[in-house]
Amino acid sequence: MGRSDEETSWLDDAFDEKKAAREEASSGMGGGMKVALGAGCLAALVLIVVLVGLALASLAALASA
């Protein structure tokens, strides 16, 4: 029972650098979009850190009361 080409093609795709470069070029995600995505991720991370800090501060206030 040999493997068909269709079964192994998805394994080879992960290591096909030429295909990955072609897909990246044709994806239409420009530099500005990447910057916006990175800024959004950074903003979400900062928001999470601030919310965790506020939660810890309120727990500390409740513990000392």
Give the pTM. Answer: 0.55
pLDDT tens, position by position, 12-58? 677 778 877 787 777 777 788 889 999 999 999 999 999 999 999 99
What does the domain layout of the chain look like in residue ranges? 5-64
Dist CA 60 CA 65 (whole Å): 9
Dist CA 16 CA 9 (whole Å): 10
Query: Which residues, in sequence order, are CB contacts of 19 under 8 Å at separation 6+?
Result: 13
